[in-house]
Amino acid sequence: MSLFIVLWLMNSGTAVRDAVSGYFKDPKAYSQKRGSGPANSGEGLTITRQTAQDLRKQIEEALRRAPDFQKMRDYILISVTGEGLRIELLETEQGMFFVTGSPNPTPSGERLIQVLAAELGRMGNEIVIEGHTDSRPFRNSGPTTGYSNWELSSDRANTARRLLHRYGVAPNQVVEVRGFADRRPMQPAAPDDARNRRISLVVKV
């Protein structure tokens, strides 16, 4: 078996040999470089850190020009992950980007998404949209009945998708819409924390 592996590597391209070499030299670091972001989707994308940082600066500059940015700035997180550039819009108890318990955006939330849409539309990168909730259940909801956090997370992600398209993102840019309910908390030790309610935009690089 070892002989066949060696022969296969000898006849493989440079990218394959580099990938195998990188993994065995440092499996953990290589997985972080190539692997999934918080959504654990495992796309295995190659991230050019400089490109991602340039996109981050471009988006941050656009957001600073948004009318309500000062009151929202502490609830917008931008980071570079294995999937790409991740933009997190975190909720408050009062509802920062979406009306509490509803898929309807607040006026401030819609204006901010409008700014993001104009910028992301010019970039042209593929986008993944995620919806997340806290663990507080809806009244009278259950696994087979009622409106639950599964529906809310999916509906908010789709609301964000429609707004992005309305304000400048091309139809083919959005490649995936995910609703995770409370399964991917930002604050695992505090599952009821309002910051677990969020919309995440992953800009693929």
pLDDT tens, 50-73? 788 888 899 999 999 888 898 999
- Position 54 scores a pLDDT of 87
- Could you report the per-residue pLDDT of 36-45, keeping only the tens digit for each? 344 434 343 4
What are the extents of the domains in the chain?
1-34, 42-204
**3-class DSSP state of 114:** helix
Q: Say if domain 42-204 classifies as CATH 3.30.1330.60.
A: yes
**In terms of pLDDT, which residue wins out, 176 or 83?**
176
pLDDT band at 11 (very low <50, low <70, confident <90, very high): low
* Reported pTM: 0.75
Q: Is the pLDDT of residue 91 over 50?
A: yes
Q: Cα torsion at 149, 78, 116, 73 (round to 10°)?
A: 90
- Position 82 scores a pLDDT of 84
Q: Is the pLDDT of residue 30 over 60?
A: no
User: Using CA of residue 186, residue 189, residue 194, residue 195, what is the dihedral sign?
Assistant: negative
- Cα distance from N-terminal residue to C-terminal residue, the chain: 37
Residue with structure tokens 């087979």? 144
